Amino acid sequence: MTLATDIYDLQNKARRRVPTMFYDYANSGSWTEGTYRDNTDAFSNYKLRQRVAVNIDERSVKTKMIGQDVAMPVALAPVGLTGMQHADGEIAAARAAEKFGIPYTLSTMSICSIEAVAEATTKPFWYQLYVMRDRGFVEDMLNRAKTAGCSALVLTLDLQVLAQRHKDIKNGLSAPPKPTIKSVLNLMTKPRWCLEMLGSKNRTFGNIVGHASGVTNMTSLSEWTEKQFDPTLDWSSIEWVKKRWDRQLILKGINDVEDAKIAADIGADAIIVSNHGGRQLDGAAASIDMLSAIVDAVGDRVEIHLDSGIRSGQDVFKAIAMGAKSTFIGRAYIYGLGADGEAGVIQALQIIHKELDLTMALCGETDIENVGRHNLLGHSVGWPKIA
């Protein structure tokens, strides 16, 4: 495995190994991709206070997420088609997260089924749910998640309709994929990926095919998914889910103070400040730019996590300093997965852990629980000005 010094090294390796169709799926945003870019760029606007002559010999980045002990304030976010970045990708990512001591979140739109991931792991993972029009299917998914031992449900709120992602259209990404001369030629340059995929039995949407009514193959899946994302999803739908889910509930896709207040009122255990990685509403604010206002509004009533744009341990530190309890990473670990499978995911987590630990040390802190706004320089949102 090639030495990687940062997440972007893993990204470059993934670009070489993963077919363009699937690499672009994970590495793109909607429309102009403005929000996708802003998510990462915005972190540079927040500057750290460098402190010296502090005893930083013994440090810890361990914390808790919704009461669960974690090795660092990071969880693996749900990512659709993870199993197309690398053969059995969801299983590989879940195993890596388990070994590292952080949560893994399986997407509804995963390639490996919830049962396959449960069979391959020994500790509970989290399950992400899209509310579909077919509420019978949704109820069945909740029951399957319970049976698999999932300890938390991540309910995504910002995908009632699917935004347009230009790269997916140009690449012919669909279910099943529409092969073009260009895509076939590209596959011929990825022999390792092709051989690994041939050795896997997981090559379809395992949570849906054979489970949703009338979905028996990839062709029927395409027809089903086009009709199933539910534009009628509203707060009463969350109440409907809560009645059927007796474990911890995390609401993902909150990027506005008013929505955060409603989420807190509804009794969520946590919310994830997120704009879907810039894949839905292009032109929306970067998630990190919305974090402080949401923390100020509801941080005393609900646990707050941050998703979208994180590419380093320093990004994680800044999110924690601004009031997030923890963070979710998507593309950062997907790059590792595409680069080297399970080992690549572990390498991505090691990179982020090291960056987080060193940043905390150079800011004069020894415990992630003590990190706060005092670690950031004065900012227009009203943080203390530093003389």
Active site positions, annotated = 276
d(CA 105, CA 100): 14
Dmax (CA) for the chain in angstroms is: 66
Do the beta carbons of residue 253 and residue 285 sit within 8 Å? no
Q: Which pairs count as long-range contacts for 330-334, CB under 8 Å and 24+ apart, including other chains? A: 330/26, 330/76, 330/77, 330/78, 330/79, 330/277, 331/11, 331/26, 331/27, 331/79, 331/277, 332/7, 333/76, 333/93, 333/96, 334/14, 334/26, 334/79, 334/82, 334/85
The residue among 304, 299, 210, 207 whose CA lies nearest residue 252 is 304
Dihedral sign from CA coordinates of 165, 169, 173, 176:
positive
